[in-house]
Structure 1
Amino acid sequence: MEKMIADGRAVLTPKGQVRLKRYLSESAGELQRILREIPASAHATELDFTRSIIPQLVSALGYAESETLYEYSVGAMRADVVLAPAVGARPWIVIEIKSSSLRLNEHSLRQLRTYMSALGSPLGMTIGRSQLAVDDGETVGLFDLANLSGADASELLGRLGRWTQSEHEIKQGRADIADLIVQVETATTNQDKGRSLEELATLLFTNAPSLHCKYRNLITRSSEIDLVVEYRGSKFDIPLFEELGRYCLIECKNWSSPVGVAPVRDFLGKLRKAKTQLGILFAKNGITGEGTGLDALREIQSAYDRDGTFLLVFSLADVKQIESGTDFIALLDQKSDSLRFDL
């Protein structure tokens, strides 16, 4: 271990956990070796094949044991293996085992596509005795295992590696945000206006690590709270929540004009009642007083100066920045600094 640390191969995370640094060329070589050995290996049953090959394969692709789920069922569909962040989450990859098949046929490939659709997975892989197929929902790539080249292994890593999942999730998250922005802009009834902005706010928080929406449209004895976000802090530390505490209240105003001082005072009252220091106001067209220091903006600054309450405002223009690639947590931090330092 000391030698690995000295060589820079074993690194410590800020929380003191040990991580082994592995280079792409090494991973590709390991993956090539595992796959090229499959045609010559002997396994009495499909279960033996799965127990022998899958742990090696998913490790070479960078997935953890906890992310490898066997005989994964949804309704009548049962996949041999899925790679997923957790039980109940949408799988990253569906894996079907066809170890008794010398060559993969059309039926096997159609079956994989069916499982991908049923489980909501963007990627699928079928492993046979001599071939491997990768399906991305549009095209199928077929690889000859006995003659798998280093370039083939690198291609498979680039499509299936664990580190690529974050890229897929980011792209999907931005697409979902774009769809909800359209709904916010085109909603006509009051019910649709409120629902669409609440859905957008919920998506932003549920996509952020360590945060989740605990309550929606919470009816209290004295008022209604659109969203209550809870910080769990186990996956990723968010400094603002570490400082201000477990809960954040969310108010959504999909109005055609800026939100004035009265709704802001009402929201500040809800924060005081809940003894919560962080509130987020999603206001489609912002608040009154921006640029002049008057009305709602002055009320928010006064509340911070008085008792340290953070009420941060996100307009639809701010959300469009996130759709374009700005990090939500970074923008949250930027807005809190603007209030804290009176920028």
Structure 2
Amino acid sequence: MTAPGHILIVDDDAPFVRIYREIFENEGLIVIVAHSSTEAIRTLETRGPQLDVVLLDQKLQGPGGPDSGLDLIEQVVRFAPFAKAIVVTGYATPNAIERAFELGVYDYLVKNGAFEALLRAKVRNAVEVTSAQRQIALKEAEVVAELRATWMQVRSERDRNRKGKLLEELVKLLFRATPGFGRVTTRLDNGTEEIDVKVDNRSDDPTWKNEGAYLLGECKNWSSKCGANEVRSFRGKLTTKYSRVRTGFLFAPGGFTKEAREELRSHKEGQILIVLVDADDLERWITADDRLVILRELHERAVFDLKR
């Protein structure tokens, strides 16, 4: 199993392929391209289990051609068990829409209006769904293996966008593998700000029961240390949520500066708690037999300003 973030684009229109590639690589996704039905089937046969989204152009042979993209939906269902097929077209018809959903398409999008924003949102949602489905299918030993594999990718990846996406994916996996925090969303965008990680707090554990309806996470997968400015920025996000969010986790495998820790200490009288999580903390959380214990320890360390 691979970390979610693989999208297959099936389109014969080179300019649109370039647009798609730019959009999704900026989102941190791995982009695979097929320019024809034959290429698409070959890719599905060889890489289907890796795929999270398959973007299908309805007309692969030009505007006057058949709806050959729709013919691939059954192949997606057959060879890519987790992938969500999304049809994109500039030539929507009632019959084509009805046929697409009968064949099992996840979504259908027309190339007009706010197309790019809608496409980005729909693909994000589809990746969230496939990620959850993958984790449900895992046994505990497989969860640990997946966490370790993703952690290795977090540390070794060089692409800036992919580095951030992988850290978000690791954090999502960790919370989902911790009792009481199974519902996790990444890259929540309200038009004003983007939240890296939102965790629904459904824990009955006394430590977390009164910590607010949601926990937020901010991910900084940098080679350098995270500083005071990042702490202040994250606190700003936590303080503008109608008092429904009181606790946030700032994840920085590269560590934190002395100034970042001093910034935290200067606001100890407030209701907002920021938990700093570095590479050593992530390692302990990943390998722990009881991940809730590690989460409690991180909380206690933040509340009482304890050293390791």
Matches within 5 A, 1:22-101: none
> 2:155, 2:305 → 1: CA distance?
31
Whichever of the two has the greater Rg, that structure is 1
Aligned in 2, Cα 1:301/1:328: closer, same or farther, shift over 3 Å?
Answer: farther
Structure 2 residue aligned with 1:283: 252
Structure 2 residue aligned with 1:230: 200
Secondary structure in structure 1 of the residue aligned to 2:167: helix
Structure 2 residue aligned with 1:240: 207
> 1:182, 1:341 → 2: CA distance?
31
Structure 2 residue aligned with 1:297: 261
Structure 1 residue aligned with 2:238: 271
Aligned in 2, Cα 1:205/1:323: closer, same or farther, shift over 3 Å?
Answer: closer
Structure 2 residue aligned with 1:319: 282
Cα displacement string for residues 5-61 of structure 1 (whole angstroms, at most 9, x for unaligned residues):
xxxxxxxxxxxxxxxxxxxxxxxxxxxxxxxxxxxxxxxxxxxxxxxxxxxxxxxxx
Secondary structure in structure 1 of the residue aligned to 2:225: coil
> 2:278, 2:304 → 1: CA distance?
21
> 1:170, 1:302 → 2: CA distance?
41
Matches within 5 A, 1:113-262: 169-233=139-203, 237-262=204-229
Aligned in 2, Cα 1:213/1:259: closer, same or farther, shift over 3 Å?
Answer: farther
Over the aligned positions, Cα root-mean-square deviation in angstroms equals 2.3
Cα displacement string for residues 209-248 of structure 1 (whole angstroms, at most 9, x for unaligned residues):
2213443211124311101100224xxx222320212100
Cα displacement string for residues 183-215 of structure 1 (whole angstroms, at most 9, x for unaligned residues):
101111111101110010000011122213443
Could you list the structure 1 runs, at least 4 aligned residues long, displaced by more than 4 angstroms after superposition. Answer: none
Aligned in 2, Cα 1:325/1:253: closer, same or farther, shift over 3 Å?
Answer: same
Moved more, 328-337 or 196-205: 328-337
> 1:204, 1:271 → 2: CA distance?
21
CA deviation after TM superposition for structure 1 residue 252, in Å: 0.6
- Contact conserved, 1:213 with 1:227, CA < 8 A, in 2? no
- Contact conserved, 2:288 with 2:294, CA < 8 A, in 1? no
Instruction: Tell me if 1:332 matches 2:292.
Output: no
> 1:316, 1:326 → 2: CA distance?
18
CA deviation after TM superposition for structure 1 residue 280, in Å: 0.6
Secondary structure in structure 1 of the residue aligned to 2:250: strand
> 2:205, 2:298 → 1: CA distance?
14
Q: Taking structure 1 as the reference length, what is the TM-score of the superposition? A: 0.46
Secondary structure in structure 2 of the residue aligned to 1:244: coil
Aligned in 2, Cα 1:170/1:322: closer, same or farther, shift over 3 Å?
Answer: farther
Cα displacement string for residues 72-111 of structure 1 (whole angstroms, at most 9, x for unaligned residues):
xxxxxxxxxxxxxxxxxxxxxxxxxxxxxxxxxxxxxxxx
- Contact conserved, 1:301 with 1:339, CA < 8 A, in 2? no
Structure 2 residue aligned with 1:310: 273
Q: Taking structure 2 as the reference length, what is the TM-score of the superposition? A: 0.51
Matches within 5 A, 1:103-122: none
Aligned positions, number: 171
CA deviation after TM superposition for structure 1 residue 250, in Å: 0.6
AA aligned opposite 1:286 = G
AA aligned opposite 1:188 = R
AA aligned opposite 2:156 = T
> 2:183, 2:276 → 1: CA distance?
18
Structure with the higher fraction of residues in strand conformation: 1
CA deviation after TM superposition for structure 1 residue 336, in Å: 1.6
> 1:239, 1:300 → 2: CA distance?
24
Show structure 2 runs of 5+ residues with no match.
1-79, 83-137
CA deviation after TM superposition for structure 1 residue 320, in Å: 1.4
Secondary structure in structure 1 of the residue aligned to 2:218: strand
